Amino acid sequence: MADHYEVLGVSRDATPDEIKKAYRRLARELHPDVNPGADASERFKLVTHAYDVLSDPKQRQQYDIGPQAGGFGGGAGDFGGFGDIFETFFGGGGQQGRRGPRSRRERGQDALLRVEVDLDEIIFGTHREIDVDTAVLCETCHGSCCAPGTSPVTCDICHGTGNIQRSVRSLLGNVMTSSPCGTCRGYGTIIATPCVTCQGQGRVRARRTVPVDVPAGVDTGVRLQMPGSGEVGPAGGPNGDLYLEIKVRHHDVFSRNGDDLLATIEVPMTDAILGTTTTVHALDGDVAVELKPGIQSAEVITVKDRGVTRLRGSGRGDLKIGVQVVTPTRLSGKERALIEQFAGVHKAPAPHLSQFQQGLFAKLRDRFLG
């Protein structure tokens, strides 16, 4: 099995922030929507599983003291088969026999949902009401598992201890063994009259609505944790957590680079020559953009603080608009005469070979990203 730290490419003493940054980088690279290859899909699953373990402090601690940390086939303090021997003959090394019956109440499972948001929603964040099909507390018995007016009765086999002790002859002589009671399954009590609504489980399946505040600046692959919003546990046990994995939908005009928004504006040749001021419709309202006389294709106009709100820190990114000068392809006779008149007045150099220039989109990419 692959080491989780190696999968994420971090050291074993990596901070939670370093683990999260490594996961976000790999998730963007390997996400099936971006990289549909089978190998990338399998790596994405490994990366996601590794992050799930290492981002949870309890799971990470258990993983760190697991088999890879040494010991007799287990984690620190785990003596493998020796523990089984002590448990069989001495009730769990002298502790489990005094632990008493186990509780019916258990923590509920965590849940993972994927939430799609639009690019304009993450500029300032958004609020959603999400329907979740999950386990909720039984309103009839309120988690007691019993029919109204009844309660659990003490098991008459183990007398409420949850364990059965027997004397066994061995090479060491007569020893007492302890094992969970088969009648009450170690609970020490029996549900004589189960609740008919939940069939004695203390919970039922239902659809409930969960309010979610999606913070500004999130990106595809980011997971939001909502403690206590997962399913309720058996017998009314505490709720698990709800994890929301964000996916930002594609936008036809704007794209995102970190906290910056990128777009391209088509400029008529005459406006590029003479200059003008125009209004563009940004995701959060109109923006006045000045086109200076003589502006060229692949130039980038930066509008400060009109990008995405930063997820960490303060302020916003920028709106970067790449210029594409559009040359007309069909001219009327009058238009052609005016152009010819301009050409006669403006003595431009004749066409000639010069150093190779990269394409418009490559130029824009370099200027956007660099």
3-state secondary structure of 317: coil
Token pair recorded at residue 120: 């304009």
Report d(CA 18, CA 10) in Å as an integer.
8
For 289, half-sphere exposure in the C-beta direction (CA atoms, 13 angstrom radius) is 27
Q: Which of 107, 103, 91 is nearest to 189 (CA)?
A: 103
**Amino acid identity, position 231:** E
Residues 6+ apart with CB under 8 A from 191: 145, 146, 152, 200
Here the contacts of 48-56 (C-beta below 8 Å, separation 24 or greater) are 48/23, 49/4, 50/2, 50/4, 50/5, 50/7, 50/8, 50/23, 51/8, 51/19, 51/20, 51/23, 51/223, 53/4, 54/4, 54/5, 54/8, 54/14, 54/19, 55/16, 55/19, 55/20, 55/23
Query: Tokens 């008529």 appear where?
Result: 268
Tell me if 184 is assigned to a ligand binding site.
Answer: yes
Kind and range of the H or E run holding 303 = strand 300-303
Is 145 annotated to bind a ligand? Reply is: no
| 195 annotated ligand-binding residue | yes
Residue 141 is assigned to a ligand binding site: yes
Taking Cα atoms as reference points, which of 255, 348, 256 lies closest to residue 311? 256
Cα distance between residue 328 and residue 271, in whole Å: 12
Residues in the chain: 370
Q: Is 146 within any annotated ligand binding site?
A: no
d(CA 236, CA 145): 9
In the chain, the amino acid numbered 264 is: T
Exposed/middle/buried for 78, CB within 10 Å: 0-12, 13-18, 19+? middle
140 near 198, Cβ under 8 Å?
yes
Instruction: Name the binding residues for Zn(2+).
Output: 138, 141, 155, 158, 181, 184, 195, 198
Instruction: Name the binding residues.
Output: 138, 141, 155, 158, 181, 184, 195, 198
